[in-house]
Amino acid sequence: MPPTKALAYLGARPAGAARVGIPGLAEAWGAWDRRRPFSGDNALIQSALSRSRALRLGAIALASRFTPPGVSALRRSALAVLLGSALLAASAQVSLPFWPVPATLQTLAVLLLGALGGAPAAIAAVALYLAEGAAGLPVFAGGTGGPAVLAGPTAGYLLGFLPAAWIAAQAAGRGLPAQAALLLAAHLAVFLPGLAWLSGFTGLERAWMAGFVLFIPGTLVKTALAVALLRAARR
């Protein structure tokens, strides 16, 4: 596929979001549909920027469900970030105590935050979550917290949530094959730094088995579940 056509595909409208039934989302996607046409390569850049703005408006609209009328967009954005960090903390407590890496629902939460809330809100939520854990709040798996966790065997996986949130955001509005591929890529963005860091504690062979191979079935299940939830949200 030529580069210009590939970029045009990446800038495709996140279709169907107006049918979610959440106040404000229809306006967000309506603004997308009313955007002025552009020409040449500049059109591709403007299309991608417009898509990013639409996702950001979608995150604000989601937060509006939890706030009374009259609350500013900035406060709603802040609430979306707070809710995202709370979701990550809650998902960390649903875990199987494997060692050295527990199995949790955090990656599923990251996928949904990115794909539904957009990259800025999702990345901010992950950053806030990591800051809360570093400050000592018991938000990590098993109710742990503190800077020692971010220096321990699972630190690479936790930091991998940041690029994973951005990649997952690119899955919004895609067709089924592209969406599944992007969500799998988001999982890989967690595994790559996770394995690199974990191997320093356990050696590469054990890290590969205990930090990746063991999680392949769960990764496939969580990816399929995320795709199903995203497809349902578009109806």
Domain count of the chain? 1
Q: What burial class does residue 208 get, using C-beta atoms within 10 Å of its C-beta: 0-12 exposed, 13-18 middle, 19+ buried?
A: middle
Q: Please give the pLDDT value at position 51.
A: 45
Q: Is 36 helix (H, G, I), strand (E, B) or coil?
A: coil
- Check pLDDT > 60 for residue 155: yes
Residue type, 85: S
- Check pLDDT > 70 for residue 114: yes
Q: Please give the pLDDT value at position 95.
A: 85
Give residue for tokens 């890529």: 185
- DSSP letter string over 49-76? HHHHHHHHHHHHHHHHTTS-TT--HHHH
* Percentage of the chain exceeding pLDDT 70: 69
Give residue for tokens 């938000």: 139
- Check pLDDT > 70 for residue 121: yes
Q: Please give the pLDDT value at position 4.
A: 40
Peptide bond into 153 cis (omega under 30): no
Under DSSP, the state recorded for 150 is G
pLDDT per residue over 61-76, tens digit each? 454 444 555 566 778 7
- Give residue 182's domain range: 3-233
Single out the residue of 135, 138, 134 nearest to residue 86, CA to CA. 138
The region of weakest confidence among 19-33, 66-80, 139-153 is 19-33
Q: Give 97's Cβ-side CA count (13 Å radius).
A: 3
Give residue for tokens 């937060």: 63
pLDDT per residue over 172-200, tens digit each? 888 899 999 999 999 999 999 999 999 99
Evaluate whether 178 touches 166 at the Cβ level (below 8 Å): no
Tokens read off for 45: 């850049």
Mean pLDDT over 69-84 rounds to 79
- Give me Rg for the CA atoms of the chain: 18
Q: How far is CA 124 from CA 91, 119, 161, 219, 226, in A?
A: 17, 8, 11, 23, 20
Mean pLDDT over 35-46 rounds to 45
Q: Give 149's Cβ-side CA count (13 Å radius).
A: 23
Alpha-helix runs per DSSP H in 21-154: 25-33, 40-64, 73-92, 106-117, 119-134
Q: How many CB atoms lie within 10 A of CB 67?
A: 14
Mean pLDDT over 36-46 rounds to 45
The CATH number assigned to the domain holding 192 equals 1.10.1760.20
Under DSSP, the state recorded for 94 is S
Single out the residue of 90, 82, 53, 88 nearest to residue 66, CA to CA. 82
Q: How confident is the model at residue 77 (pLDDT cuts 50, 70, 90)?
A: confident
The region of weakest confidence among 16-25, 85-94, 143-152 is 16-25
Q: Is 139 helix (H, G, I), strand (E, B) or coil?
A: coil
Mean pLDDT over 220-234 rounds to 92
